[in-house]
Chain A
Amino acid sequence: MKFEPTRRQVLIGGASLATVVAFGGSHPAFAASDRTRIIVRVEKDLSNLDPANRSGPIDLNVIWSVQQGLISFKPGSTEWELDAAEELTQVSDTEIAFRLRPGLKFTDGYGDLTAEDVKFSFERFLKPDAEGKPVTYAKDWSELDRVEVTGPLEGRIVLKNPSPALFTIALADGSGRIISKKAFEALGKDIATKLIGSGPYVLKEWKPREQFVLAINPDYKGAIKPHFQEIVGKPIGEQKTAEIAFRSGEIDFTAIDPESGKALAELPDASVTQVPAIDYIWFGPNIEKAPFDDIRVRQALRYAVDVDAILQGAYSGIYPRANALLAPGLLGYWKDAPVHERNLDEARRLLEEAGHGGGFKTKLTIEATARYEAIAQIIQANLAEVGIEIEIEALESAAYWALGENDASKDLELSLIKYNGKFDPGFQTQWFTSEQVGQWNWQRWKNPDFDALHAKGAVTTDKAEREKIYVEAQKLLDESAAFIWITHNLNAFASRKWLKPGVLPNGNNWLYTAFSEATA
């Protein structure tokens, strides 16, 4: 059968094609057309908007823009600035006085923001909830004794012990948000899905799994000025889908794989920002298990593993190397930390000395992601050169993190771990204390000196002294040879050229109020 189109068929076909091209090509009403409104991609949907029971940075970023704290983080910095408080004074190591700005009002008719609301917001972390259970973030305020109200807009925060970390862990963070006592009592369980605040934005809409919309709060009386009329958040779980959506113009801002940065930066209207993170990714043995109970075997591991090759092979050579627990920029950053270079001869000598010259078999447990699998394979190849044979056990995320429960980590041999960092060094050191063995100290390393340093750091208010404490603590970690640091991670973001993102130094937390139009 021959296909011999008539002239009429050709004309009709051509016209149809032209119509499709014309209508199809003009359809998308994309993000960049309206610069009073931006569309940002979030990795998952909002989950719980109660600051005391929030479920992570996605919730927190929205809570920050709607609810005020006495203080809040400065854009792009780990420092804080006054927010709802007009004045905040450290009266003593255990007492902080505050005076609120006058005229601050909660949305939805819940009245003025007063010192009573501050007291209620902070003290609820100490009390069980309606069902008799502690709130999720109770630990953030564990040093709080009480909040005393000394006037309608004035009060004092009284601590049980000095707590220098309180400012970054609680006051400026999510646990320091001030909620309306009236709203809390009126909303009951709905406090998890309805956000009442006094901040620069209101949560205008939240359509689960589709989008949330932040709109300017017309009654806001504070000092932080938002730049966009509306900020729309679209939950997109898959990174590649987000990158495609960015390429097609449907979103204005998204976190990306740093490896995709180069390609996206070549788009005419795109800009890529890289923010070194403060996380800590390392690999190490369970030192309670033979042969890793012998420090010579641990040292041999450290000599045998090629961290630079891991950074090249699994991180495309663009992530910075970590040599200690605390990332640059954090209090206690150990800038002279030793850089352990690969030395196979030394590794073999140490193994020989420890009676393992013929090598041994062991298991490396990782969270199943493409990157961690790549790291594991490099480690496997590295260690094979000194006779250590590794079986890789890749666990799905929730199964992997379940190793922190019920002392499950006792069965681990080698593990590759990533923990997210926070701005206070004490947050990072806590996971390596003896009391964390059986929970999140998967190397099961115990050192009383380290525990003492961690405890001392938590109550030392002198900044220089604290700095020394955390450097000393990191030296002990290094001496143990139980931790082979890989990287502090790298965050990368793609945005429209005209948009300046408001990302905090950890990369996970964004201040929507700090998103602004980029100046040329």
Chain B
Amino acid sequence: MLSRAFLYTHLAFKLAMALLAVAGSVVLLLALIRMIPGDPATVILGSRATPGAVAALNARIGLDKPLGWQTADFFMSLARGDLGADVFNGRPVSGLIVAALPNTMALAVSAMLIAVLSGVALALLSAKNPGGRGDRAIAFLSVGFISTPSFVVSVFLLMTLSVTLGWFPVLGAGRDGDFVDQLWHLALPTVALSVGWIGYVARLLRSSLLETLGENHIRTLNAYGVSQTKIFVKYALRPAILPTVAVLGMGFGELLGGAVFTEVIFNRPGLGSLIYDAIRTRNYPVVQGCVFVVVLLYVLTNLLADLLQTFLDPRERSRLIANSRGR
């Protein structure tokens, strides 16, 4: 058994490492963004502003300070719960993120859900008769899904299901408070974003399942006459899904960032398109705030996946117990 104190220490260590990763990534990203030539003053003042006006505006929005100072400012403001203000109109960045995040989260969660459900189903079907016609068809389909970029799928879905058939809307995230409308607006972006992941989960899980199905305990279960469905779902899927869980943890973070194209194409006001617009206009406070939130979510989902893996995998638990006794 794990002692409670050790468990807390373990969790605190993981959390501290996660926060350190967040801070490091944010500093690195901020430095990289500032290295790109161009500034918001050029965007605000138009392409032919006088140097005096550019300098005045840069001073107004704090861009005349050294980069290190600006970064320190950002973290100090963050400690006060302030993510800064949009350089164009002074709106709080936190407000922009709060408005955008639910749209991105809804998209990422639904895409991940579809990817997991479809991917697991395809993997089970595939692993049931490896090398068979169904397996080969699924392999073909999965590789096709993985290799088709989400923006291609997005345009295809828009042209067929929205423009030609008129079944789905093209723009936005749906009306406030109208859940059905929001789901309707979510459908195509979700499919577009999840397609690659369906293929990926299916391929990954299939290999893992086949490996598990060849192990001794499965052979024993077969010898005892346990039903194939029970063997697949109860005894093979659980250990086989562990590598997929780890990948999904990273995948969710990637989906948050990777939703950019999908959000831009479907004109969905999410975090991805907010970052895209902010980088284009060198709206640094918005970029900083969004990068911080994305990195935080990325690190937290990875942490969660890590903990989930420990919970699901008896070997990981044993390792942890051994470590706690060794102390």
Contacts and interface: CB of A to CB of B under 8 A. Distances in A.
B163 A192 contact: no
Given A27-B184, A47-B89, A193-B89, A241 B167 contact: no
B37 A24 contact: no
Interface string B112-140: 00000000000000000000001000000
Interface stretch (B51-59, B199-207, B213-221, B294-302): B51-59
Contacts of B60: 131, 133
Contacts of A189: 90
A44 B264 CA distance: 12
B186 to A, nearest CB: 14
B91 interface: yes
B2 interface: no
Given A136-B57, A208-B96, A24 B38 contact: no
A480 interface: no
A27 B37 contact: no
B141 interface: no
B172 A248 contact: no
Contacts of B264: 237-238, 241
Contacts of B47: 401, 404, 419-420, 440
A362 B266 CA distance: 41
A234 interface: yes
B274 A209 contact: yes
A236 interface: yes
B89 A402 contact: no
A91 interface: no
B233 interface: no
A133 B57 contact: yes
A78 interface: no
A431 interface: yes
A460 interface: no
Given A24-B167, A439-B48, A398 B39 contact: yes
Contact of A134 (B56, B172, B266, B269): B56
A209 B163 contact: no
A439 B100 contact: no
Contact of B53 (A136, A241, A247): A136
A48 B39 CA distance: 17
Interface residues of A, number: 60
Given A244-B158, A247-B163, A405 B90 contact: no
Contact of A402 (B38, B57, B100): B38
Contacts of B269: 208-210
Interface string B34-46: 0011110011111
A245 B171 contact: yes
B42 A404 contact: yes
Contacts of A136: 44-45, 53, 57
B194 to A, nearest CB: 19
B190 to A, nearest CB: 16
Contact of A398 (B43, B134, B172): B43
A401 B38 contact: yes
Contact of B89 (A139, A192, A237, A396): A192
B50 A439 contact: yes
Contacts of A44: 277
B36 A399 contact: yes
A358 to B, nearest CB: 34
Contact of B163 (A21, A248, A405): A248
Contact of A244 (B42, B89, B162, B167): B162
Contacts of B256: none
A268 to B, nearest CB: 14
Contacts of A109: none
A60 B170 CA distance: 27
A409 to B, nearest CB: 12
Interface string A247-264: 111110000000000000
Most buried by A among B53, B168, B171: B171
Contacts of A53: 44
Contact of B48 (A45, A56, A431): A431
A68 B281 CA distance: 29
Nearest to B48: A440
A518 interface: no
Given A27-B184, A209-B273, A402 B48 contact: no
B228 to A, nearest CB: 14
B152 to A, nearest CB: 13
B230 interface: no
Contacts of B90: 189-190, 192-193
B88 interface: yes
A49 B163 CA distance: 34
Interface in A399-415: 399-402, 404-406
Contact of B37 (A131, A211, A234, A399): A399
A431 B49 CA distance: 11
B165 interface: yes
Contact of A193 (B59, B91, B168, B267): B91
Contacts of B146: none
Contacts of A248: 162-163, 166, 169-170
Interface string A262-277: 0000000000000000
Nearest to A435: B50
A244 B156 CA distance: 11
A25 B42 contact: no
Contacts of A240: 155
A248 to B, nearest CB: 5
A61 interface: no
A28 interface: yes
Contacts of B39: 398, 402, 405
A294 B56 CA distance: 38
A397 to B, nearest CB: 7
A260 to B, nearest CB: 13
A1 interface: yes
A324 to B, nearest CB: 19
Most buried by A among B36, B56, B173, B265: B56
Interface in B234-267: 264-267
B88 to A, nearest CB: 4
Given A48-B44, A431-B48, 8 more contacts: A133-B56, A208-B96, A209-B277, A234-B171, A235-B267, A244-B162, A250-B171, A404-B48
28 contacts: A24-B165, A47-B44, A53-B44, A55-B43, A55-B88, A56-B46, A131-B60, A133-B57, A189-B90, A208-B269, A209-B274, A234-B171, A240-B155, A241-B171, A241-B265, A244-B159, A245-B267, A249-B166, A396-B38, A398-B281, A399-B36, A399-B37, A400-B38, A401-B47, A402-B37, A405-B51, A431-B48, A439-B50
Interface of A: 1, 20-21, 24-25, 27-28, 44-45, 47-49, 53, 55-56, 131, 133-134, 136, 138-139, 189-190, 192-193, 207-211, 234-238, 240-241, 244-245, 247-251, 395-402, 404-406, 419-420, 431, 439-440
| Top-3 shortest CB links A-B | A398-B38, A24-B167, A399-B37
